[in-house]
Amino acid sequence: MSPTGLSEILKDLNPPKDKNLLVGFDTADDAGVYKLSPEIAMINTVDFITPPVDDPHWFGLIAAANSISDIYSMGGKPVTALNIVMFPSKQLPLEILKEILRGAHEKVIEAGACLVGGHTIEDEEPKFGLSVSGTVHPDRVITNAGSQVGDVLILTKPLGSGVLFNAARAGKLPLSLLEEDLLPSLAALNGAAMEEALQFDLHACTDITGFGIIGHILEVAAGSRTRIRLPYSSLPFYAEAEAMYKKGVSTLSNEANRRLSHNQLQLKLSLSTQAEELLFDPQTSGGLLFSLPASQGQELLDKLHQRGITSATIIGEVIPGEIGIEVV
């Protein structure tokens, strides 16, 4: 569903009033957080996707990493997971579903969580994801609404997965090419990156997924009531992403993501149509976006690179001004 349509629906739902609800749906954050005791808060999230590629094992790996990411982005530790399965069992062999579940289970185990069950229904197209619960100290919850003027923004994975997946579906990119770089990156858990970031004065965090880099940074800007400057040249993109836009490949989400920015996005440089489209490209299992003091940015970046997260880069800064984003 488009972000604008979703916002229209949610605006008429009154946020619940509960002193123990630390993060609800009113701030468009990555997960809900509920305080259970002075020492423990529970994080709840759910996410499921259609197959990004035709390989069921990769589908399971990526879908699970995508679902678990929301626990990490709130500063938490994943504890339990439930499978959410929609599968056309009359059209596709059950061996395919077995491979999806195998990939997901591998990723849940890698995250140190426990798979405790799930739910399955018949559907015309496979869809898969997880409902994940995690824990965090109530005083150490990281939200998308704490960014401060003077912060820098660090992104841990490149952008452009949406158009690359559509290019593969259209036969314009072989799966073998995606397996070299894109798929391992998307299947990588964001836990190690968050583990490093939590050693610093982390003001805000979110993961970059379906709304694209602009959509998710706008959520940070709106929640924090800040303005964010992004030098376009600092944004990391997967190889071939811009080339696929030049070949006429796009995604159904691009236009909806563009509308989401309304008048809160200022492009202060001239970009080709294809380069501009990358700003609205929807991501699956994207990287974490960290907002922290500029004085700590390079040190965190060095730590991330030492952990093997070599795509991590500083992509912008938080500046004084009206709520929004300027791309320079």
Answer yes or no: are the C-beta atoms of 65 and 106 closer than 8 Å: no
Residue ranges of the binding site: 27-30, 47, 70, 118-120, 207
Q: Number of C-alpha atoms within 13 angstroms, CB side, residue 88?
A: 7
How far out from the chain centre does Cα 189 lie?
Answer: 11
Q: Which has the closest alpha carbon to 204: 140, 83, 263, 289? A: 289
Phi, psi of 315 (to 5 degrees): -115, -10
The dihedral formed by the CA atoms of 108, 112, 113 and 114, expressed in degrees to the nearest 10: 90
Residue ranges of the binding site for ATP: 27-29, 47, 70, 118-120
Provide the β-strand partners of residue 290.
Answer: 154, 205
Q: In what order do the strands lie in the sheet with 265-267?
A: 204-207, 288-293, 151-155, 313-319, 227-230, 324-327, 265-267
Residue ranges of the binding site for Mg(2+): 30, 70, 207
Answer yes or no: are the C-beta atoms of 285 and 47 closer than 8 Å: no
- The Cα–Cα gap between 271 and 264 comes to 18
Answer yes or no: are the C-beta atoms of 86 and 128 closer than 8 Å: yes
Answer yes or no: are the C-beta atoms of 54 and 48 closer than 8 Å: no
